[in-house]
Amino acid sequence: MKSDFAARLLAWHKRHGRHDLPWQRTRDAYRIWVAEIMLQQTQVAAVIPYYQRFLERFPDIATLAGAPQDEALRLWSGLGYYSRARNLQRAAQLVQERHGGAFPRALDDIEALPGIGRSTAAAIAAFAYGTRAAILDGNVKRVLARHRGVDGWTGTPAVEAKLWRIAESLLPGDAPAGPAVADEPAEAIATYTQALMDLGATLCTRARPRCDACPVAGDCIALREQRVDALPSPRPRKPLPRREVRVLMLEFDGKLLLEQRPPLGIWAGLWSLPEVAVDDDVPARVVARFRAAPGPVEPLPAIDHGFTHFLLTMHPLRVPLRDWPPGAGAPGIQWFTREAAMAAALPAPIRKLLERT
């Protein structure tokens, strides 16, 4: 079954797979790495313009390693999961320090870099070096859970371990894991890895899978048992807690006040609007914190934003200031023109708020 599975997948990909994505047809490990990090939890269509802009500004590891973090975050703004950008830059710095600026070839060395897990390391190594190693991203978990009829939520250790064993057993070829020594095996593992990703992204989708066009449908257990919609088992759901906060659009002399978020936590390092508790006396807080006299406060429509572990409701207030005393404010606080604010590294919901006001 192993060789047959891979052979069918390779034949399908040759005719129906994706071949013209910006990060394909290259063996440049840096470009492949950037793409794989951006594609974590983000769809291909959303990634493409970010990927192109990012590489225009940071064409190699050395450029990214030496850039200000705020600039890397600015080019990431809107992609979400900003720890990916911080980890990407920190990893580039470690590649400079530990590997002389050359992206490592060994799987263990790749996986040791910040923000790179086992599956991402394997994907980078397969595409860049032809390394024979299994991947297991979200799409691949769904494909294998259905094809092999694996019950249970794929995030549990036992189910994930079973899927890893299946993924490894289906790799094409019988050579031990490691960098390929010939062009043909290298091309085969890279193509197989891309084919598996494409199958999950285009046919074996979460909703409305196209089983009639699937190259491995003939021995798919979920299809045979009519359990395609039931597999993989959904993640156990718990009600997400909701948090509420007021965000202040402080305006003075045609400019907007932004505050840089702390280096750890939600939206770390990004520029955002100052926050206060929902039950705070806003004018008093503005006077106490900024030593500035606020004008009439204007409530704006609330904004909801979902994180992995909680839901956030932001209640924006437009607060014009009558003055701005010399020396007011604090480190990490800066006035921006509206144009400069929109070019800064902003969280997506803050950007949307500014766009509509």
Q: Are residues 79 and 184 in the same domain?
A: yes
Q: Are residues 327 and 210 in the same domain?
A: no
Domain limits at 341? 242-356
Across the range 349-355, mean pLDDT stands at 93
Choice between 49 and 330, residue whose per-residue pLDDT is larger: 49
Does residue 293 lie within any of the structural domains? yes
pLDDT band at 182 (very low <50, low <70, confident <90, very high): very low
Does residue 236 lie within any of the structural domains? no
Q: Are residues 322 and 213 in the same domain?
A: no
Of 92-106, 234-248, 271-285, 318-332, which one has max mean pLDDT? 92-106
Across the range 175-202, mean pLDDT stands at 73
Does residue 317 lie within any of the structural domains? yes
Q: Are residues 217 and 267 in the same domain?
A: no
Choice between 268 and 178, residue whose per-residue pLDDT is larger: 268
Q: Are residues 78 and 164 in the same domain?
A: yes
Residues 6 or more apart whose Cβ sits within 8 Å of residue 283: 294, 297
Q: What are 86-128's pLDDT values in tens digits?
A: 999 999 999 999 999 999 999 999 999 999 999 999 999 999 9
Do 44 and 139 form a contact (C-beta atoms < 8 A)? no
Q: What are 221-237's pLDDT values in tens digits?
A: 999 999 999 999 998 88
341 pLDDT more than 70 = yes
Does residue 71 lie within any of the structural domains? yes
pTM listed for this prediction: 0.82
Q: Of 203, 230, 257, which one is at a domain's C-terminal end?
A: 230
Tokens for 344, please give them: 């800064």
176 pLDDT more than 90 = no
Percent of the chain with pLDDT over 70: 94
252 pLDDT more than 80 = yes
Does residue 235 lie within any of the structural domains? no
Q: Read off the CATH number of the domain in which 137 is found.
A: 1.10.340.30
Residue 168: its H or E element: helix 157-169
Q: Are residues 295 and 185 in the same domain?
A: no
Does residue 237 lie within any of the structural domains? no
Q: Of 179, 206, 230, which one is at a domain's C-terminal end?
A: 230
Across the range 226-251, mean pLDDT stands at 93
CA 163, CA 140: separation in Å to the nearest integer? 9
Residues 6 or more apart whose Cβ sits within 8 Å of residue 76: 50, 54, 82, 84, 85, 345
Mean pLDDT for all residues in the chain: 92
Q: Are residues 193 and 83 in the same domain?
A: yes
Q: Are residues 179 and 312 in the same domain?
A: no
Residue 251, strand partner residues: 256, 320
pLDDT at position 239 is: 86
Q: Are residues 307 and 194 in the same domain?
A: no
Does residue 68 lie within any of the structural domains? yes
Tokens for 191, please give them: 């193509």
Which residues belong to the active site? 36
Domain count, the chain: 2
Does residue 83 lie within any of the structural domains? yes
Q: Are residues 226 and 273 in the same domain?
A: no
Across the range 248-258, mean pLDDT stands at 95
Using left for φ > 0, alpha for ψ between -120 and 50, and beta otherwise, residue 103 falls in beta
pLDDT at position 263 is: 85
Percent of the chain with pLDDT over 90: 81
pLDDT band at 167 (very low <50, low <70, confident <90, very high): very high
Q: Are residues 96 and 206 in the same domain?
A: yes
Q: Of 230, 262, 293, which one is at a domain's C-terminal end?
A: 230
291 pLDDT more than 90 = no
Q: Are residues 302 and 346 in the same domain?
A: yes
